[in-house]
Structures are given as C-alpha cells and as structure tokens.
Structure 1
Amino acid sequence: MNASRLSIFIFLFALATTLTGCAVIGDIFKAGAYTGIIAVFIVVALLFFIVSKMRGPRP
C-alpha cells in the first residue's frame, strides 16, 4: 500500500470514528436547511480538494 492510499485510509478512519452520524445530522436539522446545504457543499469541496492534491498534477 503506497503512502497516499494509507493517508486516505487513515483520514477516512479518523473521520468515521470522530463524527457520529446521528449527532451531526441532528445538529444540522436544528440549525436549518440552508446551513445543512452549506455544510454539505463545504465537505464535498474539501474532499475534492484533498483528493485532487493526493493525485498530483495532471498531464
């Protein structure tokens, strides 16, 4: 397993163990729909950024 795959695995494992799904979803619904939409957009953009940095420059 190369270093980038290992770092992805460690990141996903840490994310899965530190965020409890029910608590996060409950807090988003308490905050409102627009807050939830913005939060989802930020998470998707962050994941896209991390994956693109791990892949390196494209030819």
Structure 2
Amino acid sequence: MNLKKYLPLGIVALLATTLSSCSVIEGIFKTGVWTGVIIVVIILALIIWVIAKVFGGGGKS
C-alpha cells in the first residue's frame, strides 16, 4: 500500500467530516437556543396570567 497516494485523500476526508459536523452542531445549538427562548416566553406568559387571575385582573365583576 502506498501511503503517499492515500494520505491526501485521508486528509481531505478528515477535513470534510470535521467541517460538516461543525455545521450540524451549530444548527443543533441554534435550534436549542430558540426552543429555550420560546419555552421561557410561554412560562412567563402563564405566570403573568395566573397572577392576573389570582389578584382579580380578569376584568369581570
């Protein structure tokens, strides 16, 4: 087996898989951040709604 023949191919394959996996990880983290933001907004809205109901902010008498 000729190492000089396969070494550049191995380096290119290594770089290609490393770079694409970084893109995948970046996408996962971006999705995770937006999911977290949406969950926090929903929880805050529920807390505000419950506080408004407890303290009579419903508007009906």
TM-score under structure 2 length normalisation: 0.42
| More relative contact order, 1 or 2 (CA 8 Å, 6+ apart) | 1
Higher Cα radius of gyration: 2
